[in-house]
Structure 1
């Protein structure tokens, strides 16, 4: 969410940022709405001032027993009262129009974000690990899981439909081991506080993070009006909604392991086989709440925490700086971690770490009180996958597969697997 005053003062930069994100310039449209709002407020103030003056004059007219003037003034006040009520309704309508327009606008990219129209404009920041050389043709994860009899898409389709899976036995435990390993790493090593949040949120919570109203079709909604979380980012970030925090308490760092629910609207025909793109999946989320001065460093720190998961799992990956046309709606800068999948012979996204600046904070009215100076300032919010558990399972299966169809358990996960070394 943007401050219309900032847009008025920085119209050219605002339009240039939108163009870089593949959007049309909007400052003229927004400022026209704001001009109407300002003019309406001026008319209201003038009518209210006249109403106050006329009310005083009524008393004076009555004091001088000028009944005719008193009656005329009372009629004017009554007319002004009706006009003011209509004017206030018009003001609310214009304000709602402006807020609705602002709510649809994506965040402005930081100056160092590469300019591009789609994923082809993303820039590789670093590459870690060397893809394994196989002496056999590596299989994709669903071929491995189905051959083991531990990954069942057919039964899941019968029960729930497409884009669901039943994991069984050791694969179910392996997925649980991955989530537990990530939580332990982020809490014990990286200093995040574990949260077990609600999986259903209110509309204002989804609005606060920028998921609503623009992406309603991507979410699942209950008949009671709750929204199933597409990511734990929503409940974790909204912990500070409508709060005024002390600067000395920052940063807040939260992590949660939750199911995530997505309709995958617009993904017809993409990744229809396997676990890459599902309606329900598990993810360990990272959220930070900090000051504007520290958010850039916090972004690097968060990304490093997500990278450490892949390093300890010994999975090859690369870190990509997303270009302006490929970033998420609320982000002003994003790093994607892409893990190597030998079955696909490609790098695929497994984590996205974003600095949202004060974009979400403005929507949530989340502020802090600086140690020096007066007043309050908006916090900066950051979020990242630390990492997607289902895709980590996919990566482990494909990178640790053996010629006989078995899968070696990564050494870091064996304590969570009761010492098991191979799933066969």
Structure 2
């Protein structure tokens, strides 16, 4: 019989696992050790895993750490946000006030406690390093001090990680014109285009889409579950038209550069962008660590990918302001259970065109000017589509942690008899750049400074489809295609009821 060493690496793993199952001396409550590199990928491994679980349902699979590999840390000495520790220590009440205005749940005193803990360990590391250097100079045995230093550094990494995981969520400062009271309503900046009146009973986008056979929302339990959808025929063409129309405007009229971003990104980038990956209310989907070796999460917006692309970069002044756009699929764990959740309004995945800008911070006004530019782009896009919408300056309690100021565009959705958000744009000043080390140099000889970052939605496809279908419906149930989109839909002017056996047909 061949020895175990002659087996393939995969089979040797399985052999060791089965030996554990056969060991009756191990209580069933003790986790079985599972190789860290396994992740249940191959069919053989999956069968083995399922078989073991079936035989021992109360027993879990644990991992074998590689050597003395320490627990994965989100933040460590290799990468950590540049949080202004002096400002934090001296302005605890100011920061607590920021948190309260945004309905945050961070305890600033807990943050200060964590900061002091890691600073004390930092001092211990420094002391041990000095002692070690002294003993090296004297030619003494340093083995004990080297072991102590290694342990202290591990403690420091863990303490720093504990601190930064909390501190990274401390919110940005707030623009002085933003309403601060807890019950403050958004400030109406402008209403654009007239609200259409109808002389016939109107339908919602769900009924319109199903009648025209361009949207499928029912019977998805066996494929995707709720909060998902299929766009068919002219519905799919409408999505493509919206994306291409938006990109053409951004590239040709506003000087944006296009980038394709990954959908799977490490949590440190999410956290640095101000999007929490922990807690009950996170909107981010993780890949299961049971099946995947990497700590990766699905992006809910291209903003995260673009920010990650710029991470650790120093941008020459001549390239600012930097204007970047990206089209991506967005994945979100939406949790609302209101009527808003019906149809396309709140879905788990959708297509979006995102704008991302990087501005200098010489006068302190550059990012505010870019912010107004982004609002103007959104105004132009939605106005040309013929939508009636309003622009709102959002109050502090509606700001996310990174936003210094945020403007929302809300389009009128007749069937809902209400406005619905179709885009937002935020000025994040140096919140993200400090956490991701995005800097610029005013001149080649000068010291690098933290840039300001901004982001805005140019086209959130499902919300715009809702607004277009409901506002452009005709008495016979057909939909008039907005004129700017017609060239992107082969000249089609209307979406009409489908003929029998066909997805749809359109009227030229």
The residue aligned with 1:99 is 164
CA contact (8 A) 1:103 1:213 kept: no
Q: 1:187 to 1:29 in 2, by over 3 A?
A: same
CA distance in 2, matches of 1:220, 1:78: 45
Give the one of 109, 129, 139 matched to 2:174: 109
Alignment of 1:271 with 2:352, yes or no, is no
Distance 2:121 2:194 in 1: 64
Counterpart-to-counterpart distance in 1, 2:222 and 2:123: 63
- Count of residue pairs the alignment pairs up: 406
1:208–1:238 Cα contact (<8 Å) kept: no
1:3-402 maps to which residues of 2 (within 5 A)? Answer: 3-23=84-104, 26-53=107-134, 56=137, 58=138, 74=140, 80-117=145-182, 121-214=185-278, 217-222=282-287, 223-224=291-292, 225=294, 226-264=296-334, 266-292=335-361, 293=364, 294-371=366-443, 374-402=446-474
Q: Any conservation in 1 of the 2:102–2:400 contact (CA below 8 Å)? A: no
Distance across 2 between alignment mates of 1:167 and 1:94: 49
* 1:159 match: secondary structure: coil
CA distance in 2: counterparts of 1:394 and 1:107, whole angstroms = 33
**Mapped contact 2:277–2:283 kept (Cα < 8 A):** no
**What SS does the corresponding residue of 1:384 show, helix, strand or coil?**
strand
Q: 1:313-360: per-residue Cα shift (whole Å, max 9, x none)?
A: 110111111111111232221111100011111000000101111111
Judge which range, 252-261 or 306-315, deviates more.
Answer: 252-261
CA distance in 2: counterparts of 1:313 and 1:98, whole angstroms: 47
C-alpha spacing 1:32/1:402, structure 2 compared with 1 (3 Å): same
Do 2:169 and 2:401's aligned partners in 1 also have CA atoms closer than 8 Å?
Answer: no
Structure 1's 9 and 246: CA in aligned 2 closer, same or farther, altered over 3 A? farther
CA contact (8 A) 1:157 1:163 kept: no
Cα offset, 1:373, TM superposition: 6.7
Return the alpha-carbon distance in structure 2 between the equivalents of residues 414 and 24 of structure 1.
48
Report if the CA contact (8 A) 2:95-2:170 is conserved: no
Give the aligned partner of residue 72 of structure 2: none
Q: Distance in 2 between matches of 1:30 and 1:171?
A: 49
TM-score, normalised to structure 1's length?
A: 0.88
In structure 1, what is the Cα distance between the partners aligned to 2:307 and 2:129?
A: 41
Range 306-315 or range 209-218, more displaced: 209-218
Q: Compute the TM-score of the two structures, normalised by the length of structure 2.
A: 0.74
CA distance in 2, matches of 1:132, 1:285: 28
Q: Which is worse superposed, 332-341 or 228-237?
A: 228-237
Measure how far apart 1:81 and its partner are: 4.6
2:285 is paired with a residue of what secondary structure? coil
Question: What is the CA–CA distance in structure 2 between the aligned matches of 1:282 and 1:161, rounded to whole Å?
Answer: 18
Q: 1:172 to 1:41 in 2, by over 3 A?
A: closer
Aligned-residue CA RMSD (Å)? 2.4
2:333–2:348 CA contact under 8 A, matched in 1: yes
Structure scoring higher RCO (CA < 8 A, sep ≥ 6) equals 1
Query: Structure 1's 78 and 128: CA in aligned 2 closer, same or farther, altered over 3 A?
Result: same
Q: Does the 8 Å contact 2:276/2:282 carry over to 1?
A: no
